Amino acid sequence: MSRIVWHRRDLRLFDNELYHNAKKIYSVFVFDPSDYSLRSTGISDGNGGQLQSVKHGPHFSSRLISAVHSLRGNLQSLGGDLIIRIGNPVDIIPKLVQELNIEEVAWSEVPGYYEYEQSNALKKVLVLDFQRRCKLFTTCSLTLVHPDDLPTNVHVWNRLARPNEKKKRNGKVGKSELSASKSSCSCSTAYPNVVNISPARFEGMPVIMGDFRRVARTTTSPRELFPYPDSDCLTKEFSNGDLGEIPSLVELMKPLLDSSEPILGCITKELIAKLVQSANAMPRSNQIEEQSLHHLRDFVRNHAANADRSLCDVSNHHSSKLSLTLALGTLSPRQVYHCVKEEQSRLEQNGHDAADIDWLISHMEMRDYFLFNHFRQGRSSYNLHPIKPVHKPDMPRKWIPLSENKENFIKWASGQTGLPMVDAGMKELVSTGYTSNRVRQNMASVLTKDLHLDWRLGAEWYQLCLEDHCVAANYGNWAYFSGVGGDPKNRHFRTTSQLLRYDRHGKYIRKWLRIVSEDAEAALRPWAFEKDWPALIIDPYTQLTCHDKERLDSTGSILPLPSD
């Protein structure tokens, strides 16, 4: 059977289900111009219109280009090749089906409402509207557990989410009930051999992360890994010989750079140009899949147990730095899971504690929550209030329109707030496309809890800047920390106190900001030590915990005394 494998966020050959059970495979990647053109964000501009941005920013696009080059090289080494096209996949894939006499098209589903609609449109064209009916096969390789292995019955979701609460009233969930829930997956879509990721499929899924993880662990385990594809099934025999060229970053970013309308209504062209310039200057590699696997094994074996993930500066192996490879799909979460399990088995056999690296699996489960929750919410993921919470918020939320606080948003996005953690984080983000989770949370807290601006502005700005952008993880985390997720707690970070705990000696701040004073406290409160420090956009006193305020008031310093 001849098959087209349409690559999306699965830019690897190992552990790729799409390369199995077919005799002749053509590999395809499509650069969709709509990913790089201005589109509506759904956020009001305050004048009856909507703010504009692009889906794929410079840093992500740069990494994507490298990953596509890497995939092409790996296919060529096995005797195949990668067809590159530029356009709408809904138009391009059917043309290739006809040109290459294809019997089946296969792809992996990805989060995002536009991506979901695009996938459905392609299914319709290939099966209903196309002159030659084509078989379909889809899977979901971005998640740790397969969607078909999770419950589809609302009752089972609810009972497994809170087993202790339900046990007395309802008893235990029987194996037959759980099996019946899973068996319904195969008939939940109009197409055979197509995974169902519709919002209706995940009705009943817990909105609390901990409840979801409990259900996932109870019902299933990650599937086994798929081996590298057989080289005999790969082909590079094309009727017209036109494989297509991979575009450059400059070509992809042209609509963004040429836009006459400000991004998000106020981002300057100078800042956008700096973002593109930074991305273009980043080092590139054409062996992404191999390097991703090597990095994973090295981190799990040598660094994971001692990583201090709470720091602002997570260089020197304090972070797994797997978010980029997972976002691009050059590495699968199942590979992470099985790598950790293998190392834990080795440690236990040698009499060592294996629990110190289990956090990597926990992070894959958290990531799964955001991915599946995004599937469940569908288009509502992009609403100001995307989900009905399980309880009332700790405090009522008031959102200020961008039109009423545009100046402060510009300062926040450009790293000119006067708050060292926010400004250092923004400079790192624009320069590299990355910053630690600790810093991301604090930047989000200032935008939503101190400036009270629409959290989606921050999500869209991150989307434009991040190298590891995943719409489900990005929007999900922003909703969570902004207090509009399923568990709407008031997560308000005090950025100065956070620096005191997670960058006390100013290593991170001094790396990204110019601090002249050598005083130990200068990086924590630079406005008190630097003559030319930018004006603060909020009262710095609000960025201290009550305990740190008391220390500052009584001693004139927030640094603990030696006796403390």
Question: For the domain that residue 92 is a member of, what is the CATH number?
Answer: 3.40.50.620
Strand boundaries in 266-335, DSSP class E: none
Which residue, 145, 173, 197, sits at the end of a domain?
A: 197
Asked whether residue 321 is marked as a ligand-binding residue, the answer is: yes
pLDDT in tens, 120-142: 999 999 988 766 678 999 999 99
549 assigned to a ligand binding site? no
Work out the pLDDT band at 85, boundaries 50, 70, 90: very high
pLDDT digits (tens, 9 = 90+) for 269-285: 999 999 999 999 998 88
SS3 state at 198: coil
**Which of residues 182, 197, 212 is at a domain's end?**
197
Looking at the 3D structure of the chain, how many domains does it have? 2
Query: Containing domain of residue 529, as a range?
Result: 402-555
In a domain, 333, yes or no: no
Query: 502 lies in a domain?
Result: yes
Last residue of a domain, one of 197, 227, 255: 197
User: Is residue 224 in a domain?
Assistant: no
Q: Burial level of 535, CB count in 10 A (0-12/13-18/19+)?
A: exposed
Q: CATH number for the domain including 493?
A: 1.10.579.10
Q: Would 370 be classed as within a structural domain?
A: no
274 is in an annotated binding site: no
Does the annotation place 517 within a ligand binding site?
no
- Give me the pLDDT at residue 185, please: 41
Higher pLDDT: 50 or 393? It is: 50
**Whole-model pTM?**
0.93
Residue 545: left if φ>0, alpha if ψ -120 to 50, beta else—which one? beta
User: pLDDT by residue (tens digit) across 154-189?
Assistant: 999 999 988 877 554 555 554 444 444 444 443 345
> Which of 263, 291, 274 minimizes the C-alpha distance to 59?
274
Is 320 flagged in the annotation as binding?
A: yes
Structural domain includes residue 421: yes
On whether residue 419 sits in a domain, the answer given is: yes
Burial class (CB in 10 A: 0-12, 13-18, 19+), 102: buried
- DSSP assigned state of 239: S
